[in-house]
Amino acid sequence: MSVPGPILFARYAFPPNALGYCGPADAQALLEYADAGHSDRGLVALARRFDGAWPYLTLIAASAGRTDPLDRDVVEAYWIGNPLLERVTATHLIAQLDERFARRIGHGWTDLATLAASGARAHHNFHVFGVYPWVGMLRGGTPATPLHVLDNCRIAWGRVESIDGTQAIVRSRGLVWTGRELLLGPELPRSATVEAPGGQALATRVRVGDRVSLHWDWVCDVLQPHQVRALRQYTQMHLDLVNRALNRPTVAAVLD
């Protein structure tokens, strides 16, 4: 059953928020909203305080003629990917990025604008691979930390192999760094949380064999086949984009 857009947003926004990486300091509220499956003005107010995601949501909504940035299709487009992303023109994406980041990035803005003009979409994985500094830092000689952040901050997908209490083993393709390119590696098992210690969950009714989405080692949602295809497509699209770039954009500090 399709969940409302605000609940879908909470599912994906909670994991990094709980780690203190983005959004307001109220992760428990996000988890409770996601678990209950009920939204209200309080959840909308929380979503508006995610300075990284909210501008993309407003851009996707406006480009699609939707009035609500938390429209279910809009939220899915940002985190997973769907045809609404194709309605966002490069001109509008670049204009928004310019407004948000040009002064903060300084000399690196040209690289980011070029990357956006080369086929980027208003997708979370573009923000991870293209706006954050971690891809550029892979060349610094100590790739372990950047690779770990990139692999966990992006939205990944995999198949549930087993569930034991609050944890699941999910077979998923992780990122690998060849020294020249950032690629999707072979499918390997990884542990992911399906329930918090208090019993709250982001995704409901997760079963062995399900295809699921992952964000910072949490199972966020059970995916339908077309969603897996979309997430794979937009992930590969943006990996190809940064790998083709002669000068990967390197931001001075992590941008929310």
Q: What does the DSSP assignment read for 144-198?
A: HHHHHHHHHHS-EEEEEEEEETTEEEEEEEEEEE-SS-EEEEEEEEEEEESS-TT
d(CA 55, CA 33): 22
Does 102 have pLDDT greater than 50?
yes
179 vs 13, higher pLDDT: 13
Strands (E), 178-215: 182-193, 211-215
Does 202 have pLDDT greater than 80?
yes
- Among candidate residues 87, 53, 57, 88, the one with its CA nearest the CA of residue 72: 57
Per DSSP, what are the bridge partners of residue 189?
Answer: 171
Give percent above pLDDT 70 in the chain: 93
pLDDT of residue 251: 39
List all residues 6 or more positions away from 119 whose beta carbon is below 8 Å from its beta carbon: 90, 237, 241
pLDDT of residue 114: 86
How many other C-beta atoms lie within 10 A of the C-beta of residue 211?
A: 18
What the block records as the tokens of 33 is 């909203």
Q: How confident is the model at residue 179 (pLDDT cuts 50, 70, 90)?
A: confident
Per-residue pLDDT reduced to its tens digit, 147-157 = 999 999 999 99
Average pLDDT of span 68-72: 98
Instruction: Write down the mean pLDDT value for the chain.
Output: 91
Does 255 have pLDDT greater than 50?
no
